[in-house]
Amino acid sequence: MKRKAASSALALIAGMGLATAALADGEFAGVTIDAKLIGGQQYEALYARIPEWEAKTGAKVNIISQKNHFELDKEYKADIAAGTVGWCVGSNHSSFASQYPSLFTDLTPLVPAETVAGFVPANIAAATLDGKLLILPRAQFDVSALYYQKSLYTDPAKAEAFKAKYGYDLAVPETWAQVKDQSEFFAAPPNFYGTQYAGKDEAIVGRYYEMVVAEGGKLFNDDFSPAFNSDEGKRALQWFVDLYKAGAVPPGTTNYLWDDLGNGFASGTIALNLDWPGWSGFFNDPAASKVAGNVGVAPAPKGSAGVRTGWSGFHGFSVTETCANKEAAASLVDFLTNEDSQKLESSAGPLPTRSAVWDHVVAEAASDPYKSEVLAAFQETAATAFAVPPTPYWIEATNLIYPELQAAILGDKTVDQALADAAGAVDNLMKENGVY
């Protein structure tokens, strides 16, 4: 899969060399831009375009750090602490950006308005904090859709047994209540499970957050006081608890992070899996996945309030406040997120953040039924997606909430008690930091 993606990426570079945005030749001759870019295979194909920008502008890009997202996050914090912020361009993520209030600069004066208008408006909204446009999103938009094993829905014996037990037809689920029924129905531990969910860190709080929203509730009030200790919040948590108790999810699920989930679904032992777009290629690759050829993708199901889950985020690039040549840095950021860059990046699977590129990608995939199905499902989910609450204490709050969610799921605490404890802890955190 990887090799195929890379070779098509190369073809794209070759084909699009002429079409790059109009940059004045040698505009930034002699300028060196120090950049901290996220590492990892999924992200690095784009950096092969950097020499093109260098040739155009005469500037030089010096990649001074290339790490995965979490390591980069630590590094930024250490940089702020040590004052070592002489670099210019950094990878950023919409869920983490609010933590570095002083590090990055407002891009609005640096980037033409028509450029900004080319992005999906919801993404720009999520990239804007306190009126400052902090990130230009790259083609790494993330929202989760429901992957499933198609063969489960073509077996008449299963359909009949399901109907007899639950009183409605077995079909790809459209609500989370159906996901629960079907997961319990499909589960046959220890070899097969109905579904699974991320069980720790920010991941489970994100999953819980979107479920609260789908139930019609809110995680935080407008003043960022906790709002999840409510009926909606309890219903949302109950869903996770019930599945765990019924044995419909792997017993280790509270220790799972994204890689465990992806590998689990690829191993063919999971029926339904809410997961990110980055896995779509992996799941359908016979060298990596046992369910290749048997994967279906549906939009994220809806909660009892009729709202789809849709916790979303995206990667992008920011320019530091202390950068010596912000124009050059912004030009690089613009270049890495322009249409050609997004076309290149999304050709390997990730979702774009520019409206025109969405159209392009959908048109490109017309001949590939699997890809079309993936894109349709994600596009549908993206339409109602929402970002994390814009508070600098988001990550810290998740660290207070997740152990309580786990305690409820594992049965150490009741749902009521766990949510009360979590809400109390988050309330203290906000008060301690003078939020209200």
Partner 1 sequence: MAQAATHRFRRRLLKALHFTGLFLAMSVICLPGLWIVLNSFRPTVEIMAKPPVWIPTELNLDHYRAMFGGIGQGGVPVLTYFQNSLIISVTSTVIALLVGMAGGYAFARYRFKGKATMFVALMASRAVPGVALSLPLFILYGRIGIIDTHFGMILVYVAMNVPFTIWLIDGFFRQVPKELAEAAEIDGCTRWQAFWRVEFPVARAGIASAGIFAFLTSWNEYALASQLTRSVNSKTMPVGLLDFTSQFTLNWGGMCALAVLMIIPALVLTFLVQKHLIAGLTFGGVKG
Partner 2 sequence: MTRAKLPPWLVLLMPAVIILAAVVLIPLLLSLYSSFTAYQLTRPETLYRWIGTFNYVKAASDPNFWWAFGRTVLLLTIALNTEMLLGLGLALMVSKVTRGQRALRTAMMFPMMFSPILVGFQFKFIFNDNVGLVNNALQSLGLTDVAIPWLVDGQLALFAIICAEIWTSTSVFAILILAGLFSIPQDPLEAAKVDGCTAWQSFRFVTLPFLMPFIYIAMAIRSLDVARAYDIVQIMTNGGPARRTELLWTLIGRTGYVDARMGYANAMGYISIFLAIGFTVYFFRKLTAARVSLGMGD
Instruction: Report yes or no: 392 and 366 within 8 Å, Cβ to Cβ.
Output: no
Tell me the CA distances in angstroms from 293 to 6, 219, 282, 373, 430, one per residue in order: 22, 38, 11, 13, 48
403 binds, among partner 1, partner 2, none (CB under 5 to 8 A by kind): partner 2
Q: Which stretch binds partner 1 (CB under 8 A): 16-24, 45-53, 98-106, 121-129?
A: 45-53
Residue type, 29: A
> Residue 240's CB: how many other CB atoms inside 10 A?
24
Task: Report, in Å, the least distance between residue 16 CB and partner 2.
Answer: 38
Q: Which stretch binds partner 2 (CB under 8 A): 18-26, 29-37, 249-257, 333-341?
A: 249-257
Candidate residues 12, 33, 45, 409; the one interacting with partner 1 per rule CB under 8 A: 45
String marking each residue 199-218 x if it binds partner 1 according to CB under 8 A = --------------------
Quote the distance between the C-alpha of residue 179 and its chain's center: 21
Site for partner 1 in 315-374 (CB under 8 A): 315
Q: Which CB, 128 or 406, lies closer to partner 2?
A: 406
Structural tokens at position 303: 């909660």
Candidate residues 33, 39, 137, 273; the one interacting with partner 1 per rule CB under 8 A: 39
Q: Which CB, 162 or 283, lies closer to partner 2?
A: 283
**Considering only CA atoms, which of 423, 356, 395, 335 is closest in space to residue 203?**
395
**Facing residues of 220 across strands?**
226
Q: SS3 of 147, please?
A: strand
Angstrom distance (rounded) from CA 277 to CA 141: 8
Give the count of residues interacting with partner 2 (CB under 8 A).
40
Task: Report, in Å, the least distance between residue 56 CB and partner 2.
Answer: 35
Phi then psi for residue 338, to 5 deg, are -75, 180
Candidate residues 11, 24, 44, 428; the one interacting with partner 1 per rule CB under 8 A: 44
- 3-state secondary structure labels for all residues of 165-220: HHCCCCCCCCEHHHHHHHHHHHCECCCEECCCCCCCHHHHHHHHHHHHHHCCCCCE
201 binds, among partner 1, partner 2, none (CB under 5 to 8 A by kind): partner 2
Does 282 contact partner 1 by CB under 8 A?
A: yes
Does 427 contact partner 2 by CB under 8 A?
A: no
Site for partner 2 in 176-205 (CB under 8 A): 189-190, 193, 199-201
Q: Which CB, 23 or 395, lies closer to partner 2?
A: 395
The length of the chain is 436
Instruction: List residues binding partner 1 (CB under 8 A).
Output: 2-3, 6, 9, 36, 38-48, 63-71, 74-75, 78, 81-84, 93, 142, 191, 258-259, 262-264, 266-269, 276, 278-279, 282, 286-290, 315
